[in-house]
A and B are shown apart, each in its own frame.
Chain A
Amino acid sequence: DAKTTQPNSMESNEEEPVHLPCNHSTISGTDYIHWYRQLPSQGPEYVIHGLTSNVNNRMASLAIAEDRKSSTLILHRATLRDAAVYYCILRDNSLEYGNKLVFGAGTILRVKS
């Protein structure tokens, strides 16, 4: 019951920016957009989240479309350590859905040296 759509895979060159897209056309006004990533042989790790405005942190930037039906995770300079599966997840405050992460298949990011 994932409510997001992501490309299966993407490839990037090391030291270049990467833009990972996510479509969430059925997003509601109170849904937050979260990104997690999973490095090989590790559990997922939180990357960033936002509601309406673009967000920046030490790991990445999140650009949210004005209509909120899509968003883009931006890695400003990809390194080999950024090779992972990236998951775009919507979260709300309902007791039924809000307390869990609903993962889709995610985007496999490959980084070439």
Chain B
Amino acid sequence: ETGVTQSPTHLIKTRGQQVTLRCSSQSGHNTVSWYQQALGQGPQFIFQYYREEENGRGNFPPRFSGLQFPNYSSELNVNALELDDSALYLCASSPRGTAQFAQETQYFGPGTRLLVL
């Protein structure tokens, strides 16, 4: 069974550019969540996709957007990059079905390290 994979592993961009990060969910998982982790801090929830629809969003501006595809893989797009967007971006998948949120386990990928210069 393949776990959650993310690409690329590292990325360097300049301020004002746009970036797309990709995530392949674990087999059988229909829900993908994205998190941003600044250096020395815990991950912060960006948004979640469930069956190709956005299903909750954290306190991030609209220039953070996403997509989920029919195979449940997902993209995170960030427009007009700012220096503070430099962080580790984590993707997590989960097998949302009949289990309630409170008991759901999220499975994380290794992350994409983004540096904005």
Interface residues of A (CB under 8 A from B): 2, 30-32, 41-46, 49, 85, 87, 91-96, 98-106
Q: Is B109 part of the contact surface with A, judged by Cβ < 8 Å?
A: yes
Question: In the complex where A42-B110, A43-B109 touch, is A101 in contact with B45 (Cβ < 8 A)?
Answer: yes
User: How many residues does chain B have at the interface if contact means C-beta atoms less than 8 Å apart?
Assistant: 27
Task: Give complex CA distance A104, B106 in Å.
Answer: 16
B27 at the interface (CB under 8 A from A): no
B8 at interface, CB cutoff 8 A: no
When distances are taken between beta carbons in the complex, the residues of chain A under 8 Å from B42 are 2, 85, 87, 103-106
What's the dominant secondary structure at chain A's contact region? Answer: loop
Binds A, one of B11-19, B66-74, B75-83, B95-103: B95-103
CA distance in complex: A105, B38 (Å): 11
A49→B111 contact, CB < 8 A: no
Query: Which of A2, A49, A91, A100 is within 8 Å of B58, CB to CB?
Result: A100
A99 touches B90 (CB 8 A): no
Instruction: Name, among A85, A92, A98, A101, the residue most crowded by chain B CB atoms within 10 Å (CB to CB).
Output: A101
B1-41 interface mask toward A, CB cutoff 8 Å, 1 = contact, 0 = none? 00010000000000000000000000000000101000001
Could you tell me the distance between the alpha carbons of A2 and B58 in the complex, rounded to whole angstroms? Answer: 13
A100 smallest CB distance to B (angstroms): 4
Cβ-defined contact, A30 with B56, below 8 A: no
Neighbouring A residues of B104 by C-beta, 8 Å: 91
Task: Return 11 A-B CB contacts under 8 Å, by A number.
Answer: A31-B102, A43-B92, A43-B108, A44-B90, A44-B92, A46-B105, A87-B42, A91-B101, A91-B103, A91-B104, A106-B42
Q: Which one of A2, A49, A101, A103 contacts B103 once the chains associate, using CB atoms below 8 Å?
A: A49
When distances are taken between beta carbons in the complex, the residues of chain B under 8 Å from A102 are 45
By the criterion CB–CB under 8 Å, are A91 and B33 in contact?
no
Q: A44-B108, A95-B56, A105-B41 are in contact. Are A32 and B102 (CB under 8 A)?
A: yes
Q: Is the CB of B41 within 8 A of A101?
A: no
